[in-house]
């Protein structure tokens, strides 16, 4: 009979459930114990966790190496507010003078919809995300985020300041014109009674001064050595085309449908790369205001919300080859999802602390691209090409422009 014991650093020992033949790393994962937190002795001898399989007559001791209480994540103190038929459980960790408590609220369908809408209204009213008289351009891909954003606006408009909105759908790549997604874009603009402006490949070729069709250029990106830049280039093109339209109609604000975990994932990339990142949920660059009205709502909540209030708009096709990113992107999202699990509500803390950091960082240095005329932020410690943005520089080097 195998015996696996965890000796923690706060004076306790605990027998862990483990089956003969089970990898020890599985046992650790199942019990919420990080490999980095323990030294393992099997029958009195130090062994690596990664190569250890629980044997029938083994006595395995796990000794925590540092003095701290791992139970803050393994068995957090909880206060649960329950309902009979929950569809979703929202958990937020509160830190009150160093004491941690998870407040866990269960929602049924009705209270969940109310919760998401309340979160949305509160987050756009604070930090000056949306103001009276704003003229806002929103990129409407028909993806869940942009559709959920318009649905939220439609259902909460009476509680928001009066602003004007134009939705812009950018076409020119097969992924951006996937029929179910495109139909969802059209339906949600109609639901809100706003016009849907279509920007096409010719507009993109004009702004980026491309000498060949945009789709051809992007095909050689995804098929070539620079395929890892595929989503970066795609996003930059979308952003620039939204701005281009905003400038034409005299709008001062561009709204992006990035949700809570999108922004937490970009903070993971930011903190591990040191790249410049503008403010959350509002950034001002080159005379244009960029806003993230969904920054308090994770993708999972948006998806359930859409399923409950407008299931017919929740039927997008699968992402195509132009919407598939490198592993680095998956890593950032996986880290973000794990962080939410370990520290529920970490987004609240991250965004607040980031707002403080924005105040003590050196001011952003802006430059205007001589090709697409987009305004971008210079990066420290790397070679910044003169007067040309990353994407136009990339297009020029590939001889697309």
Applying CB under 5 A, the residues found at the interface with Zn ion are 369, 371-372, 374, 389, 392
- Name which of 121 and 396 has its Cβ closer to Zn ion: 396
3-7/13-16 β-pairing: antiparallel
Rounded to the nearest whole angstrom, what is the least distance from the CB of residue 210 to Zn ion in the complex? Answer: 11
How many of the other CB atoms lie within 10 Å of CB of 8?
20
- Name which of 147 and 389 has its Cβ closer to Zn ion: 389
List C-alpha distances in Å: 107 to 90, 113, 191, 295. Answer: 8, 9, 26, 20
Rounded to the nearest whole angstrom, what is the least distance from the CB of residue 305 to Zn ion in the complex? Answer: 36
Rounded to the nearest whole angstrom, what is the least distance from the CB of residue 374 to Zn ion in the complex? Answer: 5
Strand partners of residue 40: 47, 62
Rounded to the nearest whole angstrom, what is the least distance from the CB of residue 379 to Zn ion in the complex? Answer: 15
Three-class DSSP category at 196: strand
Q: How far apart are CA 177 and CA 194, in angstroms?
A: 20
164-170/135-139 β-pairing: parallel
> CB under 8 Å to 360, separation ≥6 — which residues?
none
Cα 283-289-294 angle, rounded to 5 deg? 65
Q: How far apart are CA 340 and CA 299, in angstroms?
A: 12
The encoded tokens of residue 110 equal 């009705």
Tokens 């318009």 belong to 150
Rounded to the nearest whole angstrom, what is the least distance from the CB of residue 398 to Zn ion in the complex? Answer: 14
How big, in percent rounded to 5, are the helix, strand and coil portions of the chain? 45, 20, 35
- Name which of 7 and 276 has its Cβ closer to Zn ion: 276
- Name which of 337 and 393 has its Cβ closer to Zn ion: 393
Rounded to the nearest whole angstrom, what is the least distance from the CB of residue 297 to Zn ion in the complex? Answer: 31
- Name which of 156 and 379 has its Cβ closer to Zn ion: 379
Q: How far apart are CA 176 and CA 320, in angstroms?
A: 9
| CB 303, CB 260: distance < 8 Å | no
- Name which of 264 and 392 has its Cβ closer to Zn ion: 392
- Name which of 130 and 392 has its Cβ closer to Zn ion: 392
Rounded to the nearest whole angstrom, what is the least distance from the CB of residue 365 to Zn ion in the complex? Answer: 16
| CB 137, CB 168: distance < 8 Å | yes
Q: How far apart are CA 240 and CA 232, in angstroms?
A: 12
The encoded tokens of residue 376 equal 């971008």
Number of residues in the chain:
401
Rounded to the nearest whole angstrom, what is the least distance from the CB of residue 268 to Zn ion in the complex? Answer: 26
- Name which of 290 and 340 has its Cβ closer to Zn ion: 290
């Amino acid at each position: 009979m195998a015996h696996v014991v965890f000796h923690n650093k706060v004076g306790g020992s605990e027998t862990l459930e483990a089956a003969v033949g089970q990898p020890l790393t599985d046992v650790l994962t199942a019990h919420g114990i990080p490999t980095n937190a323990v030294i393992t002795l099997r029958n009195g001898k130090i062994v690596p966790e990664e190569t250890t399989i629980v044997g029938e007559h083994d006595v395995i001791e796990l000794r925590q190496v540092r003095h701290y209480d791992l139970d803050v994540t393994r068995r957090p103190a909880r206060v649960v507010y329950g309902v009979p038929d929950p569809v979703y459980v929202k958990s937020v960790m509160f830190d009150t003078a160093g004491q941690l408590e998870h407040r866990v609220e269960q929602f049924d369908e009705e209270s969940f919809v109310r919760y998401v809408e309340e979160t949305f209204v509160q987050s756009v009213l604070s930090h000056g995300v949306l103001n009276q008289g704003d003229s806002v351009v929103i990129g409407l891909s028909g993806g869940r985020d942009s559709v959920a954003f318009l649905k939220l606006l439609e259902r909460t408009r009476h509680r928001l300041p009066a602003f004007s909105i134009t939705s812009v759908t950018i076409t020119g790549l097969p992924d951006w014109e996937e029929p179910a997604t495109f139909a969802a874009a059209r339906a949600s603009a109609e639901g809100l009674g706003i016009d849907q402006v279509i920007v096409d490949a010719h507009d993109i070729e004009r702004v980026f001064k491309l000498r060949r069709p945009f789709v051809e250029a992007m095909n050689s990106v995804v098929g070539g050595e620079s395929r890892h830049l595929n989503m970066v280039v795609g996003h930059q093109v979308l952003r620039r085309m939204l701005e281009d339209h905003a400038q034409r109609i005299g709008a001062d604000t561009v709204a992006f449908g990035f949700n809570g975990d999108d922004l937490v994932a970009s903070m993971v990339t930011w903190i591990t790369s040191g790249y410049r990142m503008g403010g959350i949920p509002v950034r001002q660059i080159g005379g244009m205001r960029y806003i993230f009205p969904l920054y308090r709502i994770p993708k999972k909540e948006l998806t359930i919300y859409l399923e409950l209030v407008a299931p017919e708009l929740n039927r997008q096709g699968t992402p195509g080859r132009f919407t598939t990113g490198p592993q680095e992107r998956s890593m950032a999202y996986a880290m973000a999802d794990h962080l939410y699990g370990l520290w529920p509500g970490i987004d609240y803390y991250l965004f607040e602390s980031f707002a403080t950091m924005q105040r003590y960082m050196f001011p952003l240095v802006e430059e205007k691209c001589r090709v697409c005329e987009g305004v971008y932020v210079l990066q420290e410690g790397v070679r910044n090409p003169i007067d040309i943005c990353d994407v136009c520089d990339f297009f020029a080097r590939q001889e697309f422009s």
